[in-house]
Structure 1
Amino acid sequence: MTKSLLISIFIASTVLVSSAVCSSDLPGQWALSVENPRHRVVATLDVEFTDEQAPSCLGGEWKVVKVVSATTRDDSFFPTSDPLSYRIEDKQLTIGRNEWCDAYLLLKGPLEGPSVSGDYFAFGMGGSTPLGYFKLTQAR
């Protein structure tokens, strides 16, 4: 092998490894609060967004949300102990319980800077049902 070929292989492998190891589009830890329709916080979670593929009954590419800690006033309101996943599409962040087919619970809002807020809703065979709201803030 020539020296220039070895250098090219090294550069290519460095780029591939760095892109595989780089943090997700949402680096670090985030504080997530889920609110009822009256904007009262029912669940709070500290989460990290990983680059690991997540299983999902919904189409698209979903990645794992790692729950670092969670508290809730009502276990049935938001699934703090169920596996969560996320995706970013068209500058929209969607976080959800996507492994329970046709019984999805989703948070969706525009991805804008160090915070996101939006709607919390159930989605399934019967359509979409509003459940509340959410706020996501990057931890400092």
Structure 2
Amino acid sequence: MKLFICFAYMLLLLDTVQAAPLPPLGKRKYILDVKRPERPAQIEGIESPASDLDGGMMKDPIPLGAKINLTRKEVKDPERVISKTSRMKFEKVAVGGRYSVPRVSFEKDRKEIRHADEPIKQDYKKKVQESEQILKDLNW
């Protein structure tokens, strides 16, 4: 049993020694292979040469540990011009001819707003009777 464990350990050790080392991050080249959708990208120099593959090549976008000179432009909010006449105003216009005022009035009727302490006077019984009478008249 010990012999078998030693043999397995030696095979594992030999496999790691014989494996090709990966290029360091930032210097790797990824080869895109369109014929293999299950594994579309391979690292160059690990399995097969680049001439066997069909596709493009990508490099690491940012080398690891390298200083990057990024200059960012300040973004300013656009200036908002707020006009005082932003609301639409409808006024009566003098119309020549037989109409002395426009047919449509854009003025709202004023509504009376009562005090909060005044009770609301609505006769619900009368409203129900009126609606029943209307339904009877319509043979509902």
TM-score normalised by structure 1 residue count: 0.25
Larger Rg: 2
- The higher relative CO (CA closer than 8 Å, separation ≥ 6) is in 1
TM-score normalised by structure 2 residue count: 0.25
Higher helix share: 2
